[in-house]
Amino acid sequence: MLPRRTALACLARTLLVNAAVTARGMQLVGQLYVLEPALRHLYPDQEKRAEAASRYLVHSNTHPYMLPFYVGTVLSLENLIAAGSLPGSTVPVVRQTLGSTLSAIGDGFFEGALLPCWALCCVSLLLCELIAPALALTILLFAALLAFRCCSFFYALKHGMAGLTGLKRLNLINWAGRIKLVNAALIVLILWQLAPREAPLSPWDFGILSVGALLCAAWIVGRWRLPRIILWLLLLGALIFMDERLLGV
């Protein structure tokens, strides 16, 4: 195992990986920066260290929030390679598949479900002028994200490829689907909060219409593959026109 100080150095550097993203190699430069403390410890000989680094001189990209798990898994393999238990050719085979898999999980759970849920919750709270709860929620989720990054890194570092079984047990993809249902309910709540109180329709009638509009939007997106941003622009435009009394409801 790596010394704790070296492992913590690699973990801290994962926060900076996207500072060196390039169009050609994506996270290539940042990844080498993250791995450098560990490679320097595992391969004191400069030639062997250069050979180990050359395994990562290829296009590399994964979700930033899943990067600690990725790095922990790769370093676990490098530990075995440095000890002579695995050939160096193992890393290129695993690295590409692992990066793509973790990227899909990160995009689906964090970008597609959790971050929108946080944003919608904050919008709803701010519309009620509840600034302190919105700030507390933001701090809580930020702390939880940091905890996830740290725990996933050390778990992968300890278990290596077997850590994928533990990640699978978290069932993040199915949790993403459940959170998206919550997001749909939050959208309806926000529309109800934005409903003009002077309109002929009551806020409850407006809420019912919002639910219907949401179901129709889901059907349109699923059937016609219409970009969701277009529906959001139409909705926001309608709300603005209603607020300016340019559109009667």
Domain map of the chain by residue range? 1-170
Most confident of 40-44, 91-95, 182-186, 226-230: 40-44
Which pLDDT belongs to residue 245? 65
Which pLDDT belongs to residue 237? 76
Gap between the Cα atoms of 228 and 39, Å rounded:
44
Gap between the Cα atoms of 241 and 58, Å rounded:
51
Which pLDDT belongs to residue 142? 95
For 34, phi and psi rounded to 5 degrees? -65, -40
Q: What is the DSSP letter of 14?
A: G
| 2 confidence band (pLDDT: 50, 70, 90) | confident
Gap between the Cα atoms of 83 and 94, Å rounded:
18
Which pLDDT belongs to residue 198? 62
Task: Report the half-sphere exposure of 243 (CA within 13 A, side-chain side).
Answer: 10
Q: What is the mean pLDDT of the segment spanning 133-142?
A: 96
Specify whether the CB–CB gap between 108 and 170 falls below 8 A.
no
Gap between the Cα atoms of 14 and 148, Å rounded:
13
- Stretch among 121-130, 133-142, 146-155, 235-244 having the lowest mean pLDDT: 235-244
Taking the model in full, what pTM does it have?
Answer: 0.80
Gap between the Cα atoms of 28 and 33, Å rounded:
9
| 152 confidence band (pLDDT: 50, 70, 90) | very high
In whole numbers, what is the pLDDT of the chain averaged over residues? 84
Which pLDDT belongs to residue 212? 72
Question: Which of the pair, 188 or 175, is modelled with greater confidence?
Answer: 175
What pLDDT, in 10s, does the model give residues 65-105?
999 999 999 999 999 888 888 887 888 878 878 888 899 99
Which pLDDT belongs to residue 40? 92
Gap between the Cα atoms of 234 and 58, Å rounded:
43
H helices of the chain, where? 4-13, 28-42, 46-54, 67-82, 90-106, 115-127, 131-159, 163-170, 172-194, 203-224, 228-243
Question: Which of the pair, 197 or 34, is modelled with greater confidence?
Answer: 34
Gap between the Cα atoms of 166 and 148, Å rounded:
13
User: Cα 201 vs. chain centroid, distance in angstroms?
Assistant: 39
| 3-state SS, residue 60 | strand
